Amino acid sequence: MLVETHAHLDYPDFANDFDDVLRRATESGVTRIITIGTSVESSQRAVDLAEKHSNIFAVIGVHPTYAEEAEEDVITPLRELANSPRVAAIGETGLDYHRLPSVSAAKEKKVQVFARALQGETEEEIEASIQDGAHKSRQASLFQQQLDLAVELGLNVVIHQRDAWDDTLEIMRPYSGKLRGVFHCFGGTLEQANEVVDLGHLVSFTGIVTFKNGAAVRQVAARIPLWKFMVETDCPYLAPVPFRGKRCEPAHTRIVAETIAAARGISLDDVAAITTQTAQEFFRFNRT
Ligand SMILES: [Zn+2]
């Protein structure tokens, strides 16, 4: 028995063969799937799926990448959606500095940026850094609002963090002891993993642990305490080897768990039993 703790089943990638996807998950021993909302609309779809299928639960939230296009008040609709007993946590929420306006601009015009760096700051660069600031503060505000909502509802939080480690921990610090977070798709160092574990949080691992260039993450998964992580796919993204590059699906959670079991030198059954219990304690699967 395995819990797939991070899927995006509401994405159109699964529209054509949804029932087959669920069947293959069950056949692989994935008995429970958590589908993660990335916007208010996506969260609504996640709840709809969870209400229709007994083995699916929903996590509701607004992803930092959607911070700009998100409606001014996302909390009122999220609070309403959380009335569903199928809602297991808040998220995914957090900070993502990977595609800030200045970074995008730099990628598009690599050569010019290099030339400009030699000349000092241009008007365009100043404009981009102002935009970066606005973007970051909008993300931070949405993140904080969702952390507050989680505390209000007594739920834990699925955290998305990319290129924003320090700011993410800084924002979460005052919430220590009030809620727990899972740093999903963990790609950091063992030191960083222990840092979040020491703050009472968890991490979860995707198919990256199977990648040739995933040795560092595999090592972290092998050495972090057995009770401090969960398994996921982040499907439709990050299909594990040998499916790399194809659409990922919840059945592949088993490959992630097998890879971690092999890296730790323990059985798949042990990884499955313990990560399942960790998930049962972290997510709200039954309303008391
Ligand atoms: Zn995700």
64 C-alpha to center of ligand 1: Å? 11
| DSSP helix/strand/coil, 67 | coil
Given a contact cutoff of 8 angstroms between Cβ atoms, the answer to whether 276 and 3 are in contact is yes
230 C-alpha to center of ligand 1: Å? 14
185 C-alpha to center of ligand 1: Å? 8
147 C-alpha to center of ligand 1: Å? 17
121 C-alpha to center of ligand 1: Å? 36
239 C-alpha to center of ligand 1: Å? 13
- Inter-axis angle of helices 101-108 and 123-153, nearest 10: 140
6 C-alpha to center of ligand 1: Å? 6
The gap between the terminal CA atoms of the chain, to the nearest Å, is 23
CA distances from 184 to 54, 94, 150, 161, 170 (A): 23, 10, 17, 8, 17
Rounded to whole angstroms, the Cα distance separating 46 from 154 reads: 20
Rounded to whole angstroms, the Cα distance separating 38 from 78 reads: 11
13 C-alpha to center of ligand 1: Å? 14
266 C-alpha to center of ligand 1: Å? 28
Q: What is the DSSP string of 184-230?
A: -S--S-HHHHHHHHHTT-EEEE-GGGGSGGGHHHHHHHHHS-GGGEE
> Tens place of pLDDT for every residue, the chain, 288 residues?
999 999 999 999 999 999 999 999 999 999 999 999 999 999 999 999 999 999 999 999 999 999 888 989 999 999 999 999 999 999 999 999 998 877 777 766 655 555 555 566 778 778 888 888 889 999 999 999 999 999 999 999 999 999 999 999 999 999 999 999 999 999 999 999 999 999 999 999 999 999 999 999 999 999 999 999 999 999 999 999 999 999 999 999 999 999 999 999 999 999 999 999 999 999 999 764
